């Protein structure tokens, strides 16, 4: 897995896509605009961002399928009743939009 | 089976993976019976999927998924496996198959 603060290079995309053959699991800090991708589990990506200075409340998980360029907002780390998100999906539309923007800036 | 049928099959497998993963994550012991029911159903879907005529671009996905599914089945039966990790693997494959179903024209 790797932490991205700038647009990924093609080699970095290839590396992150290896775990799931073209699908990249990501955790994004929607406030700092950084992303960790390529791990088997979101929790490991989350830990990397927390170690990098992120706040838990700003971290959201999902994925992007590199073959279809479709994004999903599904992760076990998203279950946060205290933030009005009782689901594994990101329910807040504005957070989803931020998620999309950062994926667009760092991956697509 | 038509492309439409095969696409629906992939989506059915994806949905079951999401269900199984969710039940495993939320309450593995309490939902064991339901998990087993849906694993049997999914096994049958996967057997059909393995023989289906799919776009060339989907062949590697099918191979990887079949392998992962069999590994997950072994993991569920094992008393020492990390059930949360398995649950996440099911849900991840649910996401991947949902996306890849769009590769059917």
Are B99 and A41 a contacting pair at CB < 8 A? no
Q: Tell me the pLDDT tens digit for each residue of B25-57.
A: 999 999 999 999 999 999 999 999 999 998 898
Query: Cα-flanking dihedrals φ and ψ of residue A76, to 5°?
Result: -65, -25
Q: Each residue of A39-93: pLDDT tens digit?
A: 999 999 999 999 999 999 999 999 999 989 999 999 999 999 999 999 999 999 9
A21 touches chain B (CB under 8 A): yes
Tokens 């800036």 correspond to A105
Interface residue B75 vs chain A (CB under 8 A): no
Determine the residue among A20, A39, A72 to mutate to test chain B binding: the one whose Cβ has the most chain B Cβ atoms within 10 Å: A20
Give the per-residue pLDDT at B1. Answer: 80
Q: pLDDT tens digits, residue range B50-82?
A: 999 988 989 999 999 999 999 999 999 898 889
End-to-end CA distance of chain B: 14
B67 touches chain A (CB under 8 A): no
pLDDT at B2 over 90: no
pLDDT digits (tens, 9 = 90+) for A29-46: 999 999 999 999 999 999
The CA distance from B1 to A87, in Å, is: 35
Is the pLDDT at A2 greater than 80? The verdict is yes
- Which residue is listed with tokens 């992150």? A16
Q: Quick one: pLDDT at residue B104? A: 85
């Amino acid at each position: 897995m790797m932490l991205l603060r700038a647009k990924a290079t093609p080699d970095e995309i290839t590396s992150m896509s290896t775990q799931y053959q073209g699908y990249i699991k990501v955790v994004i800090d929607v406030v700092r605009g950084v992303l960790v991708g390529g791990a088997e589990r979101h929790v490991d990506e989350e830990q990397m961002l927390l170690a990098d200075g992120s706040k838990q409340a700003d971290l959201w998980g999902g994925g992007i399928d590199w073959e279809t360029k479709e994004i999903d907002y599904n992760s076990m780390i998203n279950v946060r009743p205290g933030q009005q998100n009782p689901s594994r999906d990101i329910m807040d539309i504005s957070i989803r939009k931020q998620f999309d923007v950062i994926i667009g800036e760092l991956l697509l | 089976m038509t492309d439409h049928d095969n696409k629906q099959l992939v989506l059915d497998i994806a949905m079951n993976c999401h269900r199984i993963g969710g039940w495993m994550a939320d309450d593995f012991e309490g939902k064991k019976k339901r998990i087993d029911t849906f694993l049997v159903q999914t096994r049958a879907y996967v057997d059909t999927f393995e023989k289906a005529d799919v776009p060339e671009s989907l062949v590697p996905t099918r191979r990887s998924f079949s392998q992962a599914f069999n590994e997950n089945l072994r993991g569920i039966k094992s008393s020492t496996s990390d059930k949360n990790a398995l649950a996440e693997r099911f849900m991840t494959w649910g996401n991947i198959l949902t996306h890849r179903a769009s590769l059917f024209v």
